[in-house]
């Protein structure tokens, strides 16, 4: 028996805003019968404010409660505020969910994103995965992007957590090794791609060694020639995860604006060519 909070029970037994909206501005459909839960969210927006929200949910008590909570949170919010909502807001609103049931709140977040995209005319109501993503868990149709995002946003530390939040790994278990890999990747390097369709960055998925080589070659091929043109030079001192330590030589070393060079040239190039989270320090 799950330990549900009184709020979860209340929203399950007396769900708010059940139904459909014929004149919805955005519709988001996620999940499926096969997966054991599915949610269709309808939103109505006027002058940048969510004026109404309705839902239909197939799923367990916490899935129904999460959907109900989501609509309650949404109504009255500005579109910007709605865009910023995450699964954590839903779980918090309900006074918490059992860890194994966190995927219900993630489903709410996904439906909301889909509905907002649908409202902006960027997507059909039904969630389809961008083709950049790789299907990791066949049993539950979960893509790497979703997993990496869940790891990042919820600070997940174990494969079990990934399953609790995304369901990936909860079926035949053959994707567990991949989940393990994604976890090390995401946590080890502290980087996660931005959600869904945005293009991933070049160093994504690289091993540490590959990444170091990439940083080295970007400095050699792109940064150094620029500095040399100004009579200076740069030396790569150390790489510690996202922090890259460099030393300026020649002209640049006494240049009062070297910190600008550091940011505008070196950091910008590395962020563009390697990883958007890189920080460059002089040392």
| Chain residues in the site for another protein (CB under 8 A) | 2, 12-13, 15, 18, 29, 32-40, 56-61, 63-64, 100-101, 126, 135, 138-141, 163, 167, 170-172, 174
Shortest distance in whole angstroms from residue 155 CB to ligand FES? 22
Rounded Cα distance between 253 and 249, Å, is 5
Does 180 bind ligand FES (CB under 6 A)? Our answer is no
Stretch binding ligand FES (CB under 6 A), from 136-144, 188-196, 220-228, 241-249: 136-144
Ramachandran angles phi, psi of 151, nearest 5° = -60, -45
Q: From another protein, ligand FES, none, which one binds at residue 33 (CB under 5 to 8 Å depending on kind)?
A: another protein
Select from 1-9, 14-22, 165-173, 251-259 the region that touches ligand FES (CB under 6 A): 165-173
Question: Please, which residue, 167 or 273, has the CB nearer to ligand FES?
Answer: 167
Token couple for 195: 């959600």
CA distances from 112 to 96, 117, 229 (A): 19, 9, 51
Output the smallest distance, CB 142 to ligand FES, in A.
Answer: 7
SS3 24: coil
- Should residue 177 be labelled a site residue for ligand FES when binding is judged by CB under 6 A? no
Instruction: Indicate whether 139 belongs to the interface with ligand FES (CB under 6 A).
Output: yes
Tell me whether residue 255 is one of the annotated catalytic residues: no
What's the min distance (Å) between Cβ of 20 and another protein? 9
Q: What is the smallest separation between the CB atom of 32 and ligand FES, expressed in angstroms? A: 15
- Interface with ligand FES includes 174 (CB under 6 A)? yes
Residue closer to another protein, measured from CB, 36 or 195 = 36
Chain centre distance of CA 237: 32
Any residues with CB less than 8 A from the CB of 212 and at least 6 apart, and which? Answer: 239
- Which has the closest alpha carbon to 70: 119, 25, 114, 36? 114
Indicate whether 133 belongs to the interface with ligand FES (CB under 6 A).
Answer: no
User: In angstroms, what CA-CA distances link 10 with 6, 50, 59, 71, 272?
Assistant: 6, 24, 16, 14, 49
Closest contact distance (angstroms) between CB of 57 and ligand FES is 23
**Residue 243 — φ and ψ, nearest 5°?**
-95, 125
Per partner kind, with CB cut-offs from 5 to 8 A, the member of ligand FES, another protein, none near residue 61 is another protein
Examine the residue annotation and report whether 104 is marked as an active-site residue of this protein: yes
| SS3 state at 190 | coil
Distances (CA, A) of 233 to 247, 262, 263, 280, 283: 9, 12, 15, 15, 14
Known catalytic residues are 35, 104
Q: Which residues bind ligand FES (CB under 6 A)?
A: 137-139, 168-175
């Amino acid at each position: 028996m799950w330990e549900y909070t009184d709020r979860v029970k209340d929203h399950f037994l007396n769900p708010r805003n059940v139904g459909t909206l014929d004149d919805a501005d955005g519709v988001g459909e996620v999940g499926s019968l096969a997966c054991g839960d599915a949610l269709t969210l309808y939103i109505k927006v006027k002058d940048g404010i969510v004026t109404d929200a309705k839902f239909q949910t197939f799923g367990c008590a916490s899935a129904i409660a999460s959907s109900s909570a989501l609509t309650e949170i949404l109504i009255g919010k500005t579109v910007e505020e709605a865009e910023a909502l995450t699964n954590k807001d839903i779980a918090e609103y309900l006074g918490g969910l059992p860890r194994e049931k966190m995927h219900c709140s993630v489903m709410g977040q996904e439906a909301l994103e889909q509905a907002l995209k649908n409202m902006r005319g960027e997507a059909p109501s039904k969630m389809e995965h961008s083709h950049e993503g790789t299907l990791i868990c066949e049993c539950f149709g979960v893509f790497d992007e979703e997993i990496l995002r869940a790891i990042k946003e919820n600070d997940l530390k174990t494969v079990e957590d990934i399953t609790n939040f995304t369901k990936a790994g909860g079926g035949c278990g053959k994707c567990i090794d991949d989940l393990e890999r994604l976890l090390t990747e995401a946590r080890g390097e502290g980087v996660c791609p931005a959600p869904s369709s945005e293009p991933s960055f070049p160093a994504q998925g690289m091993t540490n060694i590959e990444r170091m080589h990439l940083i080295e070659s970007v400095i050699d091929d792109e940064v150094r020639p620029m500095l040399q043109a100004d009579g200076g030079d740069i030396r790569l001192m150390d790489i510690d995860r996202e922090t890259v330590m460099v030393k300026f030589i020649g002209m640049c070393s006494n240049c009062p604006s070297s910190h600008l060079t550091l940011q505008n040239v070196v950091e910008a190039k590395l962020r563009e060519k390697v990883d958007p989270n890189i920080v460059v320090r002089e040392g």
